[in-house]
Structure 1
Amino acid sequence: MAVVLDLLKNDPRPAAPVRLRHPEKAHRPDQPVQARKPDWIRVKAPGSPAYAETRAIVREHGLVTVCEEAGCPNIGECWEKRHATFMIMGDTCTRACAFCNVRTGLPGALDADEPEKIADSVAKLGLHHVVITSVDRDDLADGGAEHFARTIAAIRRRSPQTTVEILTPDFLRKDGALETVVAAKPDVFNHNLETVPGNYLTVRPGARYFHSVRLLQRVKELEPTIFTKSGIMVGLGEERNAVVQLMDDLRSADVDFLTIGQYLQPTKKHHEVVRFIPPDEFKGYETTAYAKGFLLVSATPLTRSSHHAGEDFARLKAARLARLAPAQA
């Protein structure tokens, strides 16, 4: 597997942004789009006092959160618990993935004070675990790797007891970028595959599937103690066998944690929802993934990469200790 990944990571094809939002033949005729959301993915509208307090802190520092930018359905629940996923390096992405609601275009200059602003917000919110993500910054020589490292360091200075999870772009063709981020030693390194490889040309056209798998594998080679994590959306027309093969690819890269959630179409310009996956099929994916050796699996319609991240980190540590215990006995 590693040999195959090394060959494919040097894929010479260009990775220029493709602004394909509503591709033809995005779903099969025998799987019509279901416009109405089923009851199992309905959520309560946000509005609690704790939600308002979290929003006020975010606004005070002029921060961007993926919770808002991506229209996450769990924002009410997470912000009520004072959990927010901070999105660094602006709100404009250099790519145009067909599933994503984040703005696309030419980003502005980096805010040199942003790492300290993030660290201040983490301290004010009293977070025990924080998730930091970003837009793709293909315009930067290192893809924003140093900015990630500076943000991790700033949080560690202000809140040394806070564990740090990062959700990174793929740093495609940015030599040395991954090494810079790993050297900052986040507790969890997450990079999402988003979908099965057969969907990449229409769903994630600026990325390369095997490059993303190899990136996760390389994290473990550089620092085996870091937990690695990846996630996908289902409901984009993928076959079950392709999802199971993706699990095998991630386990070959020694990925610890897999998340699987229902894709929800942000606007009519984005890729259609081909199918709403019922809860029992998510349960089947969870059972299969655990059988393949993942330390932790979250597979539900409302699962998102950062949903319950703090609780999941505790479960990850416990699962690793449980797995190591027989070997140490």
Structure 2
Amino acid sequence: MFSPEDKSRNATGAGRLPPWLRVKLPADAGFAATARTVAAAGLRTVCRGARCPNIFECFSRGTATFLILGGTCTRGCAFCNIAAGTPDAVDPDEPERLGRAVATLGLSHAVLTSVTRDDLPDGGAGQFAAAIRAVRRHAPGATVEVLTPDFAGDAAALDVVLGACPDVFNHNVETVPRLYPAVRAGADYARSLAVLARAARRGRAVVKSGFMLGLGETAQECDATLRDLATAGCGMVTVGQYLRPSRRNLPVTRYAPPGEFEALAALGRRRGIAEMVCAPLARSSYKAGQAASLAAARCCPRS
């Protein structure tokens, strides 16, 4: 069994990992093949960087979520395993290598994310746009999803990304507004909602967000967050269990049972969100292609 939290870490916070969060390691040659393709291209994935529990399943299916703009974040949110510090210079060849890797893997849906780069004038928006265009050149049949930071609220930077016409635009709120000071230092809940609303007004992409359970939120706060995301124009929301990736990260306050995720999915749909992907191991990019297709069909039905 694999978990981001070992027994000593589980002893801090919510206690022993429940059975529904234990993941079996698949014996599949596809895992090694995906890992080799990513490594050969000199690319990073958030799957490894954030210690995602679904990495074995996703790599074995030949999918990965690419992490652009380096491996060092300028903020360092308390839930995230990616290191904070002074980032490296932007790699101008990265978009082309990424586009070629998407083609080599034969992906039908490519997901691109990044560390937060508050050190850059555009927050890295230009690199996102270049990566989208490179994927379209090398893998013209693939749809593209971006999971972006908030670009420090810079509307012009956001418009650079939206102008490259991603099929899915994702920006996670991560948690309820009360917990932002502890969970997302340097971020702002209202600013994140404004990013989502601006993307929704453009009307070209399915707009997506997500948050985690197990950080100290209440049921009422989750409902209010779903209402906010629906009002902002989200067509899709993911909700998963927070798992503490290391001792330096926030402890888990509780492990929500699967039924609670099912109830949240039903609640989100009642609030007007077309597609809810809610499960203990759900992550923003887990089975993203299937869910995005369903969300697009529900948001923009074809005659």
TM-score (norm 1): 0.87
Within-5 A mapping of 1:97-112 = 97-112=77-92
Distance 2:300 2:117 in 1: 36
The aligned counterpart of 1:91 is: 71
The answer as to 2:246 corresponding to 1:267 is: yes
Number of equivalent positions: 292
Distance 1:206 1:46 in 2: 38
Give runs of ≥4 in structure 1 deviating > 4 Å.
Answer: none
* CA apart distance, 1:174: 3.2
The aligned counterpart of 2:135 is: 155
The aligned counterpart of 1:171 is: 151
* CA apart distance, 1:321: 4.3
Cα distance per residue 1:93-147 (max 9 Å; x no partner): 0011100000110001011000000000000000000000000000000000000
* CA apart distance, 1:316: 1.6
Aligned residue among 161, 176, 183 for 1:196: 176
Distance 2:231 2:263 in 1: 21
The aligned counterpart of 1:257 is: 236
Cα distance per residue 1:229-267 (max 9 Å; x no partner): 000011111001001000111111111101000000011
In structure 1, the residue corresponding to 2:66 is in which secondary structure? strand
Q: Is the 8 A contact 1:262 1:276 kept in 2?
A: yes
* CA apart distance, 1:149: 0.3
AA aligned to 2:284 is S
Q: RMSD value over aligned CA atoms?
A: 1.2
In structure 2, the residue corresponding to 1:233 is in which secondary structure? strand
Structure 1 unmatched ranges of 5 or more: 1-31
Within-5 A mapping of 1:247-326 = 247-322=226-301
* CA apart distance, 1:225: 2.6
The answer as to 2:224 corresponding to 1:241 is: no
Distance 1:208 1:318 in 2: 31
Structure number with bigger Rg: 1
AA aligned to 1:85 is T
Q: Is the 8 A contact 1:47 1:76 kept in 2?
A: no
Distance 2:147 2:27 in 1: 27
* CA apart distance, 1:298: 0.6
Q: Is the 8 A contact 1:54 1:80 kept in 2?
A: yes
Distance 2:77 2:300 in 1: 38
Cα distance per residue 1:131-181 (max 9 Å; x no partner): 000000000000000000000011111111100000000101435100101
Q: Is the 8 A contact 1:169 1:191 kept in 2?
A: yes
* CA apart distance, 1:320: 2.6
The answer as to 2:62 corresponding to 1:82 is: yes
Distance 1:314 1:87 in 2: 22
Distance 2:79 2:296 in 1: 32
Distance 2:154 2:219 in 1: 33
Structure 2 unmatched ranges of 5 or more: 1-11
The aligned counterpart of 2:206 is: 227
The aligned counterpart of 2:17 is: 37
* CA apart distance, 1:46: 4.6
* Percent identity of equivalent pairs: 46
Task: State which drifts further: 175-184 or 119-128.
Answer: 175-184
Q: Is the 8 A contact 1:295 1:320 kept in 2?
A: yes
* CA apart distance, 1:317: 2.5
The aligned counterpart of 2:105 is: 125
The answer as to 2:193 corresponding to 1:216 is: no
In structure 2, the residue corresponding to 1:92 is in which secondary structure? coil
Q: Is the 8 A contact 2:153 2:191 kept in 1?
A: no
The change in CA–CA distance for 1:317 and 1:175 in structure 2 (over 3 A counts) is: closer
The aligned counterpart of 2:6 is: none
Q: Is the 8 A contact 1:142 1:175 kept in 2?
A: no
Distance 2:273 2:53 in 1: 26
In structure 2, the residue corresponding to 1:206 is in which secondary structure? coil
Distance 2:77 2:155 in 1: 23
Aligned residue among 85, 90, 95 for 1:115: 95
